[in-house]
Structure 1
């Protein structure tokens, strides 16, 4: 049975998995992302990690998820706004001769969505919006059962929509983007604690922490409302590292959506936490390698 490798490139960690062709996890590896996360250093780290994960070369296809848009052929990382030096990087071309394996690239939010659609919380749904909340805010869109990539492959970047025109500047050039309010940095603007500490404080009933999570949920609900009006999905999944604290902020987000979105546009809508956690991206990257890189 053929095997696949999925790689999720994040700002702090590279998460890799080796999978069977039906999505069963056979081996996994997590290693730090080189700092600064320049393309050359990341390439070296991926090559070394794949060699450790699959020393016998059993997996011939590799999917790589990155925080930004790819070209239409899924060979070039056009830009990764939260990683330094990532503009028009021909990553697949660089990696293939070193890995001796075929490579395809994808937006990390799209990878997470494909993972959830393959073996997670989106199984059985055709119209899905996924948001990943972490260092940045990414996401993906499934329409009529197909991954929506838009003109030239640059969709989707739901974290870059505006929710506050006078808000903090974003690396994308926007101001007050959803990412600026619902990333880890956005959460820290509400209360300067790391997410794990803020989660623990809220579970202990700390009023300031509870208020910070409520405000966070309100901003998330504002952004979701605009996205729901455009996409009218069956299902919204909330993933990424911050989703571990969803008990604190999802009620506020749901209340905001109910207030802002007319009933017909949210009829039957389900909004819930994603199932696969931080493993969704690497699984979805492997799935895209399976679909795109036919033997």
Structure 2
């Protein structure tokens, strides 16, 4: 039985899982992302972690989700906006000889969306958007049951769309992007309190905390309104660390969408919190390894 390894490379942690072909988790491992997160140091850390997770080589294929776009062949990390020194890094080529396993890459939000479509909150959907709200704002698009990545592999950077023409600078080079308003840094512009404390206060009915989440939700709704007009998905999934606060900001998101988006463009739309939490990315990366490196060659 072919096993699979999925890796979710983040700015603070690298999360790994070993799975069976049905997506059942067999073993897991998490380690801190090296500081600074230079490509060479991260490559070595991933290789060592995979060796620990699967010392007997039971999983011959590896999928890796990373915070940025890949090339159309899913082998080169084109850019990782929130990791230092990442531009056109041939990560698959570096890892394969070290691991003696085949490797495929994906944008981390795309991987999370694949995981949610496989065993999570989007199992019943063929057209979906996922937004990951955390250190940055990532995005993934599922159209007709397939990931949409564009002709060069870099489509779906939903957090980098503009929502505020004269807004704060974004690491992408844009100004006033959705990420500048709806990332953890964007939330900090609304309140000096940590997200967990804002949640606690909102749950207790604190008016100031509820107002912060309402403003946050309004900005998220502004960004989503443009995406809905273009993509008209069945469902929008909300994930990432800030997704845990969705009960506090989704009412404001819904109100903004009802005001800004024609009924026909949001007909039947559902806003859902991701079901798999922080495990979606590594699961989806493993599923992409299964699809690209096991099933596709066998069926060709």
Give the C-alpha shift of residue 30 in structure 1. 1.1
- The number of residues matched between the two structures is 295
TM-score of the aligned structures, taking structure 1 as reference length: 0.98
Deviations 1:105-142 (A, max 9, x none): 00001000000000000002110011111111001111
| Bigger Cα displacement from structure 2, 114-123 vs 33-42 | 33-42
Distance 1:51 1:195 in 2: 35
- Residue 195 of structure 2 corresponds to residue 195 of structure 1: yes
- Residue 167 of structure 2 corresponds to residue 163 of structure 1: no
Give the C-alpha shift of residue 204 in structure 1. 2.1
Which residue in 2 is equivalent to 1:270? 270
- Residue 184 of structure 2 corresponds to residue 175 of structure 1: no
Which residue in 2 is equivalent to 1:128? 128
Deviations 1:235-265 (A, max 9, x none): 1111111101111111111110111001111
Structure 1's unaligned 5+ residue stretches are none
Q: Secondary structure at the residue paired with 1:59?
A: coil
Q: Secondary structure at the residue paired with 2:193?
A: coil
Which residue in 2 is equivalent to 1:13? 13
Distance 1:50 1:200 in 2: 37
Please identify runs of 4+ aligned residues in structure 1 that moved more than 4 A: none
- Residue 110 of structure 2 corresponds to residue 96 of structure 1: no
TM-score of the aligned structures, taking structure 2 as reference length: 0.97
List aligned pairs for 1:1-295, cutoff 5 A.
Answer: 1-294=1-294
Distance 1:4 1:63 in 2: 8
Distance 1:232 1:247 in 2: 23
Deviations 1:38-87 (A, max 9, x none): 11111111011111111111111000001111011111000111111000
Q: Secondary structure at the residue paired with 1:153?
A: coil
Distance 1:190 1:205 in 2: 18
Structure 2's unaligned 5+ residue stretches are none
Give the C-alpha shift of residue 90 in structure 1. 0.4
